[in-house]
Structure 1
Amino acid sequence: MKVTVGVVAVILLGTVATALFRSGVSPNALDVVLPLAACGALLFRRRHPVAALLIVMIATAVYYPFARLDGPLIIAPMLALYTAADLGHLVAACTVAAAALLGMGVGESGSVRHVDDSLFLMITGWMVAAVAAGGVTRNRRAYLHEVEQRAAEAEHSKEEEARRRETEERLRIARELHDVLGHNISLINVQAGAALHGIRKRPEDAEEALRAIKQTSKETLRELRSTLGVLRQVDEDAPTSPTASLRRLDELVRRTGLDVSTQVAYGDPPVEVDLAAARIVSEALTNVSRHSSAGSARLTITEESGKMVITVEDDGPSVVFTGGSGYGVQGMKERAAALGGALEAGPRPEGGYRVVAELPL
């Protein structure tokens, strides 16, 4: 708006100054009406750029041949052309500029010439420069807007990624705490029940159960300290040493209190596969101990086609357990899916329950 007011002021003051200092020239009505019309159109050039351009160009085309004062009205078409191109009406600006130059050329082709060749070329250069400047500023504004949009999208994507990673980390922590606390506390509960049941009739069994409770609680505290130590690490890439591992499979099986027949044949799996496999085996055997009347289970761990296949079966009643939170099986499935594997759990047709996990190596 400041530019428009400045141009309008220059045109009007220039017209008045021309009328005052040019002796022997008497202004007519066009010397007043046409500058006012052009300046009025310039005030609305942002809202109606094409209409303002047409009004300004027509007023200028009539002004110089028929008005008596040669005021600085030529500035108005340049500003109108720039505005039209800047607001995206490049075709209209080029068309109007070409029509104006063509009309000027035809008008000056007769015997009487009001504009010499140098002035004609200068006016042509001004018009071309005004249209080009408008197009350049529009393109630059569009480029800056696109850069801002990309920056905003990148920031949004960064926030989404941060939220996704935060959710995944929260689920991972929940799984770890569930495995560390849920499994071991469940085993302690089972052993405590056995101790209470046999403390009078068979004291030797109660003593064994209490010994198992002591060992399980000690293991629980050790794994909990290890898990909390990992959570306290600031560097996400810092190496971790998970306590759960298939290398301690015998100890893991012994703590369940079940009679487990094992058949294992596997190499040296990656750390993340080793941890997930140990957690899945622990969860599956704990579920047998807690929710099944079976006193034994079968555990098979093999390698097939680049995958570690874990199978846990029991011969308990052919029923589906519906109690508890249900996070155990869900947690096992999430662990397998996090490594690109899969896990299926359900009752066996011949009775009992089966858990089968496939973890890519």
Structure 2
Amino acid sequence: MRPAASSRDRRRRESAADLAFALVLLPLVLLATRLAGQVRPDATRVDGTALALVTVAVLALAARRLLPRVTLAVVTAAVSAYLVLGYPYGPVLLAVLVAVGTVAVRLPPRPAVVAAAAALVVLLAHLLWSRGERPGWFGVLPGSAWVVVPFALGVTVRANRESVERVRAEQARRQADEERLRIAQEVHDVVGHGLAAISMQADIALHLMPRQPEQAVTALAAISRTSREALDELRVTLGAVRRGAGREPVPGLARLDALVGRLAGAGLRVELRVTGEPGDLPPPVDLAAYRVAQEALTNVLRHAGVDRAAVTVRHAPGEVSVEVTDAGSGGDGGAGHGLAGMRGRVAALGGELAAGPLPGGGFRVYARLPVEPTR
């Protein structure tokens, strides 16, 4: 649903609720006003004019959220006239409470203060001029309470709502940032691996072209195949991002054989070992394990300067681990966004990742991911 349509629907629901509230409140206030007239025989007798003013004040609440200032003005005028004419204090003041509270909640602070102050001045006019008994200045404090108290409550409600909205906005911003980082990591893993393999195969083709053109053709075919596979995987990844997780197949450990085959075409022979009993891994764990192996092997292809690597996948109760080793020059294993991304991906799932040079030369990446038992 579009935001404009949603806003219109919300306003219609609010207007319907306010109308229902006013219609339910009206007979109760009219009845209570008649009873107040019997309790206060010294006040002006409740007649048709009094009931008409009560009706106007209460029915005005039907527009309280749609037109809060207009509602407060109508309620203030009707209630002030009711009090000036000397009719007894009664439930008609409930309309003032609701109207003032609505203004405090719906309007910004400065306009709300101005509207409430103006209403207070008008409502206190009966203290100095009234057909019935005039309480005088002694009535200022209790009379002011009918405006000050609901206004303070309304301001508190507004502050709480704004605080909740700020928290929600911050959560939404944080979730959007996390989603952008996740997308960037996925694209980095897919594109980085594909480009590394293509670059290696292109170097092989350029090297073989003058002397062994037929093998260069094989390398070019591998480039074509690798680029097509990388584009397909990128398309699947972006499709999963657009439509939500779980609606598109995502890579997992079952695709390690295909990954090893692509790397073999790029000149990196990978020995793949799987131990333990493979089970159904949760999709996030399966994807993370595959990405760790993919990124580690991509780093071997880019930085290790060797043509061999080993990948060991171990399935154990409650966990799965991936280990990638090579016998290259060691160093930092291409530390940077790739290694940081691996570490963040594994940590997000409650796992651990260790990466560093081996004592006898080479580099090792080891990731352990917890697996919740299936029920």
What TM-score comes out, normalization by structure 1 length?
Answer: 0.60
- Within 5 Å, give how 1:214-293 maps onto structure 2: 214-233=224-243, 236=244, 239-242=247-250, 244-257=251-264, 258-265=268-275, 266-293=278-305
Q: Pick from 304, 310, 317: which aligns with 2:329?
A: 317
> In the alignment, which residue of structure 1 is the partner of 2:138?
77
* Superposition map of 1:1-361 within 5 A: 74-79=135-140, 81-82=141-142, 134=145, 138-233=148-243, 236=244, 239-242=247-250, 244-257=251-264, 258-265=268-275, 266-320=278-332, 326-361=336-371
Give the whole-Å Cα distance in 2 for the aligned partners of 1:273 and 1:156: 33
Distance 1:246 1:322 in 2: 23
AA in 1 matched with 2:204: A
Paired residue type of 1:272: P
SS of 2:306's equivalent in the other structure is: coil
Alpha-carbon separation, structure 1, partners of 2:136 and 2:148: 21
- Residue 147 to residue 351, structure 1, CA distance change in 2 (3 Å): same
Is 1:262–1:300's contact at 8 Å kept on the other side of the alignment? yes
State how far apart, in whole Å, the 1-side matches of 2:206 and 2:235 are.
29
Alpha-carbon RMSD:
2.8
| C-alpha displacement of 1:198 | 2.1
Q: TM-score, normalised by structure 2?
A: 0.58
Query: For residues 283 and 237 of structure 1, do their structure 2 counterparts lie closer, same or farther at Cα, with a shift above 3 Å needed?
Result: closer
- Alignment partners' CA distance in 2, 1:237 and 1:183: 22
CA distance in 2, matches of 1:322, 1:227: 24
C-alpha displacement at 1:321, in angstroms? 5.0
Change (3 A) 1:321 1:160: same
Structure 1: runs of 5 or more not aligned = 11-45, 47-71, 87-133
Cα deviation digits, residues 153-189 of structure 1 (max 9, x gap): 1110111111111101111111111112111011000
Identity %: 42
The question of whether the paired residues in 2 share the 8 Å contact of 1:318 and 1:350 is answered with no
Return the alpha-carbon distance in structure 1 between the equivalents of residues 176 and 199 of structure 2.
Answer: 33
**CA shift for structure 1 position 322:** 6.2
Q: Residues 278 and 322 from structure 1, CA distance in 2 versus in 1: closer, same or farther, beyond 3 angstroms? A: closer
Q: Which moved more, 1:307-316 or 1:144-153?
A: 144-153
Q: For the structure 1 residues 300 and 238, does the alpha-carbon distance in structure 2 shift closer, same or farther, using more than 3 Å as the test?
A: closer
2:106 aligned residue: none
Distance in 2 between residues matched to 1:296 and 1:322, nearest whole Å: 17
Change (3 A) 1:305 1:142: farther
The number of residues matched between the two structures is 241
Residues in 1 aligned to 2:245 and 2:281: alpha-carbon distance in whole angstroms: 20
Residue identity opposite 1:335 in structure 2 = R
SS at match of 1:349: coil
Greater mean deviation of Cα atoms: 336-345 or 215-224: 336-345
The amino acid of 1:277's aligned partner reads: A
Q: 1:74 to 1:275 in 2, by over 3 A?
A: closer
CA drift at 1:288: 0.3
User: Are residues 144 and 74 of structure 1, via their aligned partners in 2, closer, same or farther at CA, if it must alter by over 3 Å?
Assistant: closer
For structure 2, the residue ranges without an aligned partner over 5 or more in a row are 1-75, 85-116, 118-132
Q: Distance in 2 between matches of 1:141 and 1:237?
A: 47
Give the Å deviation of 1:318: 2.9
Cα distance in 2 for partners of 1:340, 1:167 equals: 20
Give the match for residue 91 of structure 1.
Answer: none
Give 1:137 deviation, angstroms. 5.3
- Give 1 or 2 for the bigger CA radius of gyration: 1
The 8 Å contact of residues 333 and 342 in structure 1, kept in 2 or not, is answered as yes
SS of the residue aligned with 2:313?
Answer: strand
